[in-house]
Amino acid sequence: MTRIDDTFARLQASDKKAFVSYIMAGDPDYDTSLAVMRGLPAAGVDIIELGVPFTDPMADGATIQLAGQRALDGGMTLEKTLQMARDFRTGDTTTPIVLMGYYNPIYSRGVDAFLVAAKDAGIDGLIVVDLPPEEDEELCIPAQAAGLNFIRLATPTTDDKRLPKVLTNTSGFVYYVSITGITGAAAAQATDVAPEVARIKAATDIPVIVGFGITTPEAAENIAGVADGCVVGSAIVAQIADGKPVEDVLAFVKTLSDGAHRA
C-alpha cells in the first residue's frame, strides 16, 4: 500500500472525492514553489502532482510550458525537484506526491538510480506521459517493483480495444484526460466525461481521476461528481504566473478543493 492507496481508502471510507493539484517544481523559483507546495495540504489538496520541468513538454499547453521554461531558466533540474520533495517531507510524511513529466530526464539519470532517489525523496507515484504501455519494461515495471505507483493516462480516443492495454500495470489511479489536445486548451464537461469514466471503471477497480479543462470550483465539483476526483493544474499555475502571493494562490486552491469535496 502506497500513500496514494491509503489516501483513496481514507477518502472512500468518508464518501469523499479526491482533489489533486499540479504545480511546476521551481516555478517561479525554488523557494516560492516549495512554499506553495507546503501549503497545499492545508488548502485541501489530497494528492500533489509535482511537475518536472522539461525542454519539450509535448502534452502541455502554453501555461504549463511557460512555467517549465521559467523553472528551467531558474536552474531547476530533476535532482532539484527531488530535493524539493525531500524538503516537503520534513514537514509532511502523509500527503502523496506524484512526479509528472517526461522520460528523457529519467533516462539520462539512469532508471535504477532515479528510482532509488525518488523513493528516498518520498515520491509515491509517477506519470510519464511519453512512455506508452508497450514500453512498460523501461520504467513502469521497475517503478512498481520499487514500490512506486505508475499512473497511466486514458483519453477520449482510448477505445475499447486500447483500454485494456492502458490499464495493464497501471496502479494508484487512472488519470482520465477529459479533452483531446493539450493542457489548458478547453473546458471539461461533466456530461461528456461521465460515460467515459463509467466505461473505464467497468474495466478496473482503480480510482479514476479526471484532469484537463477544470478551472473553477463549480467545474471541480461537477467533474469530481462523475469520477473519483479531479485534477487542476493550469488554473493554479496561471495564478503563480500572475505573481500572486503564496497565500492568494493557496486561497484559490482552497476554493477548488472545496468544490471537489462537495461532490
Distance in angstroms (rounded) separating the CA atoms of residues 255 and 216: 8
How does pLDDT run across 181-218, given as a tens digit for each residue? Answer: 656 556 778 888 999 999 999 999 999 999 998 999 99
pLDDT for position 183: 60
pLDDT at 181: 61
Class of CATH domain 3-262: alpha beta
pLDDT for 248 equals 98
- Ramachandran assignment for 235, one of left (phi > 0), alpha (psi -120 to 50 degrees), beta (any other): alpha
What residues act catalytically? 49, 60
**Contact, 81 vs 112, CB < 8 A?**
no
pLDDT, residue 1, reads 86
For the chain, residues with pLDDT lower than 70 are 180-186
Identify the pLDDT of residue 59: 78
Cα R_g (the chain), whole angstroms: 17
CA distance 252 to 41: 13
What letter would DSSP give residue 43? Answer: G
Closest CA to 234 of 208, 212, 258: 212
Output the pLDDT for position 235: 96
Distance CA(137)–CA(148), nearest Å, equals 14
* Chain centre to alpha carbon of residue 70: 19
* Residues 6 or more apart in contact with residue 122 via CB below 8 angstroms: 85, 86, 88, 89, 93, 97
| C-alpha separations of 103 from 49, 82, 231 in Å | 16, 15, 21
d(CA 65, CA 72): 11
Reported as half-sphere exposure (CB side, CA atoms, 13 A), residue 133 has a value of 15
Domain ranges of the chain: 3-262
Peptide bond before residue 105 is cis, with ω within 30 degrees of 0: no
What pTM was computed for the model?
0.96
Q: What is the pLDDT of residue 189?
A: 85
Q: What's the per-residue H, E or C state across 114-139?
A: HHHHHHHHCCCEEEECCCCHHHCCCC
Position 163 scores a pLDDT of: 97
